[in-house]
Amino acid sequence: MILMLKALIIGMFVAIPVGPLGLLAVQRTMSKGRKMGFLSGVGAAASDMIYSTSAVLGMGYIELFLQRHKCLINCVTGVLFLIVGTSIVMKPKKQKDEKKVNDNKALADEELIHPAFTHFIMGLSNPMTFLVFMVIFAKMGIDSRGNGIVKNMLFIINIFIGSCLLWLITTTFIKYSKKSVKPKNIAFVEKLIGVIIILFGVGSILKGILKL
């Protein structure tokens, strides 16, 4: 029971929206609604689950792969964040045409699959998450080697549930808090998030080029 509680805490901790993926999910929540933002968070949580599985099962070759290809991974991740951040900054102002919104409702519903998929792919492009899990497990004194496969899988699933739970809370908070914020200020925050994501991208590319 304590192990599963730790898993929930770990899942919520790694899902805290302080990195570029988290900020992107926040931006999508503000611009496209809670459902879009939540699906973005679920996509990121799914990629985290893959790396947490690797960490729990002790796949040492993944760590070796990360060390060998760290520069390339940083460059690719940086380019992805540059593209996403630039698209946010350059995004034109929303048109408040109610008829156009109704005409495009079906298309918007179809697009709900995209945020989860894009966040999943972008999350996989940052395998340093594997090392993050290894550090967290060490700090919390978690050793999965003595556990059975069922207990380990439940542990991994609870990490995923913890991440999804935090994203549900975060997107719900944003949904209701943005009602008291002027649209002009929301647009400014979105642009600011785009700039921060661009800076993350530039930093990642520089790390790859300089082999840091």
What pLDDT score was predicted for residue 212?
A: 67
Rounded Cα distance between 98 and 117, Å, is 28
State the sign of the Cα–Cα–Cα–Cα dihedral 84, 85, 87, 91: positive
What pLDDT score was predicted for residue 161?
A: 95
Other Cβ atoms within 10 Å of 28 Cβ, number: 27
Rounded Cα distance between 198 and 74, Å, is 14
Check if the beta carbon of residue 37 is closer than 8 Å to that of residue 18. Answer: no
Mean pLDDT by 10 residues, the chain (212 residues): 87 85 86 88 90 77 72 83 84 53 45 71 77 82 74 90 94 86 79 88 87 71
3-state helix, strand, coil in the chain (%, to 5): 85, 0, 15
The three-class DSSP label of residue 80 is helix
What pLDDT score was predicted for residue 77?
A: 80
Residues 6+ apart with CB under 8 A from 105: none
What pLDDT score was predicted for residue 137?
A: 83
Residues in the chain: 212
